[in-house]
Amino acid sequence: MTVDGARTTRAERQAQTRQSLIVVAREMFLSDGYAATSLDKVAVRAGFSKGAVYSNFSGKEELCMAVLDSIHEEQIAGVVDAFTRDTDLDGRIEAFAMWAREGLGQPRWTALEVEFGAIARQSPYVATELVKRHREIRAAIAQLVRQVTTEAGLGDVVDADQAATTLLSLGIGLGTLRSLDHTIDVGVFADTMRALLKGSV
């Protein structure tokens, strides 16, 4: 019992250390950029040794991937929240548009996405992991499209996979534009989503 308890405690401590490193690294990557943020700086800011960083992450690329995962999880949660509200399809699309006005195209994390994405040209790890995550995000969007259209009584008139690819591509492009010019309205995103989800009815 004592040994098992000690193991559990160590596992919990490591999980807490890992989460603390992600939180600190996220702020540093977003404020200073990927290139300017070193593992040494993250360790010092978080109050750990560099060894603690390497016991949780193989290197800076994996740490940044974990940071981006945390950002993506928040973004996906916002979209899911909008499309699972107790209202009709138009109400859900409007809820999504309201989220997008605040959540889409935030300059700091968009800049980090672009900077980190450029590393994929030299890093097979980054290239592979980004492809994997984009596929997972598209799959999640496609599942959400299927759920929303089914609940709206639209049946199988919408190609969920194609819609997911279109929406993700538009979201990335529009987010990049808005990170530079926040006056760009996200209404086009909502209109496109409305056309995709309801255009065949």
pLDDT tens per residue across all 201 residues of the chain = 445 555 668 888 889 999 999 999 999 999 999 999 999 999 999 999 999 999 999 999 999 999 999 999 999 999 899 888 888 888 988 898 888 888 888 899 899 999 999 999 999 999 999 999 999 999 999 999 888 888 888 777 788 899 899 989 998 999 999 898 988 888 888 888 888 877 544
CATH 3.50.30.30 assigned to domain 61-198? The reply is no
Topology of domain 1-57, CATH? Arc Repressor Mutant, subunit A (1.10.10)
For the question of whether the overall pTM of this predicted structure is more than 0.75, the answer is yes
Q: Which of 192, 186, 196 is nearest to 99 (CA)?
A: 186
Contacts of 155 (CB under 8 A, 6+ apart): 149
d(CA 151, CA 116): 38
pLDDT at position 2 is: 45
Sketch the domain layout of the chain as residue ranges: 1-57, 61-198
pLDDT at position 6 is: 55
